[in-house]
Amino acid sequence: MEHYESSLDKLDQLMQRYRRQDILRNQHYEDLSQRYYPFIKAFQLPQNHHCIYIHRLTSTEVLNNLINLASEIDYFTIDTQHQIEVYPRASDDVPAIIQIELHSKNRTPLVLLIEVLYLQTKFTTRTRDESKEKKINELFQQIFSPNKHIYAWGNPKEKLSSFYHYNLFTTNDLDQLYLYNVHDYFAQWYKIAYPHSLISQTRTRNEPYTLQTSLFLVFMNG
């Protein structure tokens, strides 16, 4: 007889799995923080930056301004976040947020938090705003237009591949960009700059650095 597993059972198992991973990861960073706290200054977010959330309630005026701004900028940093799907597929990670920083020497740093999970998917037939959807697509077209430079901690194309089904960009769009995996540059630089570091000597060739670990190493050796 096939064992029945309720949605609540699946959710509980999922939360236990993620909770354990989070606890171990957070405990690791907490241990590092406590051990080296006297030697490292606490990180402070720059005061002169702006953060804008992009979702279905973002005004058309804001979107128009961002489209114009993105057309003038060539360099961007991206990151992505997934969200746990609670029901009915409690074992799935759903692509939820794309974070994009716009780099300009003459402007205040600007970060976009694009909540793709709450764009087209949450518009109902009655409340759907097709003109706003078009503006959001235009914004992505400007950011991912040919010959733009995209930086990420990891392979940018791999990070963005799970977002294709939102129809905001395609693999062909990404093929026309200059893509940079900052992690690879860091790993090579750290090995050359600190060849006698215990971490450099004991780390396996393909073992990746987390972004948190890399920042810790730089500030510890800086």
User: Which CATH number does the domain housing residue 78 bear?
Assistant: 3.30.720.90
Entry pTM? 0.76
Residue 140, in any domain of the structure:
yes
Provide DSSP, 140-164.
HHHHTSTT-EEEESS-HHHHHHTTG
My answer on whether 119 and 33 are in the same domain is no
Task: Provide mean pLDDT across the span 156-179.
Answer: 95
Residue 144, in any domain of the structure:
yes
Residue 217 pLDDT grade (very low, low, confident, very high; cuts 50, 70, 90): confident
**C-alpha span between 9 and 4 (Å, rounded):** 10
My answer on whether 80 and 168 are in the same domain is yes
Residue 53 pLDDT grade (very low, low, confident, very high; cuts 50, 70, 90): very high
Cβ(7)–Cβ(88) below 8 Å: yes
Give the residue among 131, 136, 134 at the shortest CA–CA distance from 100: 136
What mean pLDDT, rounded, does the chain reach? 79
My answer on whether 71 and 160 are in the same domain is yes
Cβ(209)–Cβ(188) below 8 Å: no
My answer on whether 82 and 172 are in the same domain is yes
My answer on whether 14 and 123 are in the same domain is no
Residue 20 has pLDDT above 50, yes or no: no
CA distances from 26 to 12, 40, 111 (A): 20, 18, 25
Say which residue, 24 or 213, is predicted with more confidence. 213
Say which residue, 57 or 7, is predicted with more confidence. 57
My answer on whether 22 and 84 are in the same domain is no
My answer on whether 60 and 170 are in the same domain is yes
Residue 212, in any domain of the structure:
no
Residue 168 has pLDDT above 90, yes or no: yes
My answer on whether 166 and 57 are in the same domain is yes
Residue 164, in any domain of the structure:
yes
Residue 45, in any domain of the structure:
no
My answer on whether 35 and 54 are in the same domain is no
Q: Which domain holds residue 148?
A: 50-182
Residue 117, in any domain of the structure:
yes
**C-alpha span between 37 and 211 (Å, rounded):** 18
Residue 75, in any domain of the structure:
yes
My answer on whether 106 and 141 are in the same domain is yes
My answer on whether 29 and 123 are in the same domain is no
My answer on whether 71 and 159 are in the same domain is yes
Residue with tokens 């010959």: 147
**C-alpha span between 219 and 198 (Å, rounded):** 16
Q: How many structural domains is the chain composed of? A: 2
Residue 200, in any domain of the structure:
no
Q: What is the pLDDT of residues 75-125, one digit of tens each?
A: 999 999 988 765 555 556 788 999 999 998 888 889 999 998 877 545 455
